[in-house]
């Protein structure tokens, strides 16, 4: 079988914010089953742009001396499982770690590919009871699938981080506390939990969000305290001002 074509959204050749403590190449893969109202990369949801795997390999080979890891983002990378597998194998051959940022919609694919990955960054968008999740994503079973992916990750040796993006009026203290309690109850209390500042610079016009929807640095820290007191081991925030930092840790 030949190398799979990659539906490519773009490449950031050097990032220090996508994997804490590591310099990473970030490869964006197109298409996503969700339609989140605050999607930063909505431009990757429509048109296709298929590229030869040789192009990806050339980029990794060119940058391998300057990076520690490759992060696959999207879109939703697990829509292209063969591409994940091919990139992971090539990156590992060149001494690089591999992580995937995912919305958790494909738990069975995460389960089948986890052995070839070093880290999964799982986006939990809202409490997993499904009500707000459906409103945010436009997909009825997104919360159920995200929960299954979380459970899959907890039964593997793959490192896991959970990320929630917050906007005032959508996801705030009540929702963060509920998510944190769910993580604790499911057995994910030891996984780092990152509360990410929602940003409006690249949002679609129909999102209906503006600068007043963005939490400040101090407000993000308060949200972190809420999650920590729900029983989590380590809570971080990710903001425009300071990047990613640990706020509370046991």
pLDDT digits (tens, 9 = 90+) for 51-93: 999 999 999 999 999 999 999 999 999 999 999 999 999 999 9
Q: How does pLDDT run across 154-172, given as a tens digit for each residue?
A: 999 899 999 999 999 999 9
What does the alpha-carbon distance between residue 87 and residue 98 come to, in Å, rounded to a whole number? 9
The overall average pLDDT reported for the chain is 95
Q: How does pLDDT run across 213-222, given as a tens digit for each residue?
A: 999 999 999 9
Provide the pLDDT for residue 150. 97
Percent over 70 (pLDDT), the chain: 99
Q: Could you tell me the two tokens for 151?
A: 């459970």
What does the alpha-carbon distance between residue 4 and residue 231 come to, in Å, rounded to a whole number? 43
What does the alpha-carbon distance between residue 131 and residue 117 come to, in Å, rounded to a whole number? 31
Provide the pLDDT for residue 206. 67
Phi, psi of 152 (to 5 degrees): -60, -45
CATH superfamily of 6-249: Aldolase class I (3.20.20.70)
Percent over 90 (pLDDT), the chain: 86
Mean pLDDT of all residues in 199-225: 88
Q: Could you tell me the two tokens for 27?
A: 């490869």
Nearest to 122 by CA among 147, 139, 140: 147
Measured CA distances, 30 to 72, 80, 100 (Å): 11, 9, 14
Number of residues written out for the chain: 250
Q: How does pLDDT run across 82-114, given as a tens digit for each residue?
A: 999 999 999 999 999 999 999 999 999 999 998
Q: Where in the chain are the domains?
A: 6-249
Provide the pLDDT for residue 2. 84
Q: How does pLDDT run across 168-187, given as a tens digit for each residue?
A: 999 999 999 999 999 999 99
Q: Could you tell me the two tokens for 248?
A: 């509370």
Provide the pLDDT for residue 27. 98
């Amino acid at each position: 079988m030949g190398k799979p074509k990659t539906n490519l959204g773009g490449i950031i050749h050097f990032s220090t914010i996508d994997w804490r403590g590591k310099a990473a190449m970030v490869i964006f893969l197109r298409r996503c089953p969700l339609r989140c109202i605050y999607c930063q990369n909505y431009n990757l949801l429509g048109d296709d742009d298929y590229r030869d795997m040789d192009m990806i390999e050339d980029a990794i080979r060119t940058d391998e001396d300057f990076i520690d890891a490759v992060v696959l983002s999207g879109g939703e990378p697990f829509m292209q499982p063969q591409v994940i597998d091919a990139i992971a194998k090539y990156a590992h051959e060149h001494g690089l770690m591999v992580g995937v940022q995912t919305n958790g919609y494909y738990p069975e694919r995460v389960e089948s590919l986890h052995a070839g990955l070093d880290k999964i960054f799982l986006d939990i968008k809202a409490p997993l009871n499904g009500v707000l999740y459906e409103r945010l994503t436009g997909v009825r079973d997104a919360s159920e699938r995200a929960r299954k992916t979380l459970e899959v990750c907890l039964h593997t040796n793959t490192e896991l981080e959970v990320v929630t993006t917050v906007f005032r009026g959508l996801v705030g203290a009540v929702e963060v506390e509920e998510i944190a309690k769910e993580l604790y109850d499911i057995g994910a209390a030891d996984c780092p939990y990152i509360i990410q500042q929602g940003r409006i610079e690249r949002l679609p016009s129909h999102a209906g969000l503006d600068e007043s929807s963005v939490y400040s640095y101090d407000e993000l820290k308060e949200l972190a305290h809420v999650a920590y007191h729900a029983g989590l081991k380590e809570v971080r925030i990710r903001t425009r001002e300071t990047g990613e930092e640990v706020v509370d840790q046991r």
